[in-house]
Amino acid sequence: MTSILEGIKVIDLTRMAPGPFCTMILGDLGAEVLRVEQPPADGGPQTSEQKKQAKRAAAFNALNRNKRSMAVNLRDAQGQEILHKLVKDADVLVEGYRPGVVDRLNADYKTLSAINPRLIYCSISGFGQTGPLRLVPGHDINYISVGGALSLIGNDGGPPIPPQNIVADFAGGGLHAAMAILGALFSRERTGKGQNVDIAMSDGSTYLISSMISSYLASGEVGRRGTTATAGAVPYYGAYQCSDGKYLSLGCMEAHFWEPLCKALGHDDFIPFQHDKSKHPEQFAAFTADFKTKTRDEWVDYLQNAGDIAVARILDIDDMENDDHVQARNLIMTVGEVDGETVKHVGFGPKFSDTPATVRSLGPITGEHTDTILEELGYSSDQASALRDGGIVR
């Protein structure tokens, strides 16, 4: 076996970030991922330049690497028949529709598991398949609101600050879905049966703040954003701007980090008062002024050589690409080319000694593999042409 999920077939019915991120992970781990997409209403790119740009966009989209694509109209009975044929030897299906939509498409778990009882069927939605909010529309900000995470993010006395769409979409949704699918596949090895996996991005957001919830359940005290050490409320844990306008981060929570930091900055008198809140305004002011005297890189190089100090550069994405550590960890990697242009992608999070993740193909344009897959399913060229002419596939 050259990869962990070699031979596992995944059908991807998703569109938005959580689903494609989930199936990217599965694909990176070796699964064969097929995106079943809706045929574009306008027929897709028409001119050579439009086709070229579509090909380039697909190639640079890391979320769609290691996948094939076919375009099928699942609202039509013939399109549903194609999906049912695909499901017969699939291992996993991932869908991201609002609850109830798959029933209308004859693509629900009950229908598909009757075709293939070994199927792992994963639904990713905002609020889950049950509960009073199940049909309520939303986006990341809404899911982390209900999940409790947004209430913890921001400054003391200020409003909640949305943290991009990382928490619900990618972590609470896509990452949790991939983890759950791997667990369900392991369970199937023992039982021989597939199962239904219900992933709610709001649930995942709550799961991610387990430590904070544990503190509340034990003490009855509700944590306020911007008031805890890990939220930047203390001088030894936070971000500071340097003379070049760039930022560094301090994480000197432990005394063995705090002491060398104070000595390196010439503030030995601060050492006994790390946790004295009355001294924090003075410490904040001193550190803020200190770091404005040199550039970010000058400060980080100095502090990292001055002792055991938890300090790091806060890197913008363009900084990160060229960072020595990021390069050493292969987190930005060259994966191929499109029309002579080098294509780079984000690297792999987990590193495996024996079954490494791989990029075997760049992202396809919509419907790029439709004819090939129809042929694999046993459709003749005449049947495929008829489906295409009827708008069932593209």
Q: Which helix (H) or strand (E) holds 374?
A: helix 370-376
At residue 171, the 3 state secondary structure works out as helix
* Strand intervals (E) in the chain: 9-12, 32-37, 67-71, 92-95, 120-125, 196-200, 237-241, 247-251, 311-313, 332-338, 341-346
CB 306 within 8 A of CB 264: yes
At residue 272, the 3 state secondary structure works out as helix
- Whether 76 is catalytic is no
What is the torsional sign of CA 5, 182, 150, 100? positive
Name the residue with tokens 């027929």.
43
Q: Which helix (H) or strand (E) holds 109?
A: helix 109-115
Among the listed residues 84, 139, 267, 369, the single catalytic one is 139
Phi, psi angle pair for 187, to nearest 5°: -60, -40
Structure tokens at 27: 């694909």
Q: How far apart are CA 301 and CA 137, in angstroms?
A: 48
**What Cα–Cα distance (Å) separates residue 141 from each residue in 153, 157, 162?**
12, 20, 6
Which of 136, 132, 92 shows the shortest CA–CA distance to 112? 92
Name the residue with tokens 């905002």.
126
The secondary structure of residue 151, as a DSSP letter, is G
Q: How far apart are CA 32 and CA 242, in angstroms?
A: 47
Neighbours of 60 (CB within 10 A): 17
Neighbours of 224 (CB within 10 A): 14
- Whether 169 is catalytic is yes
Among the listed residues 12, 28, 140, 169, the single catalytic one is 169
Catalytic residue list: 139, 169
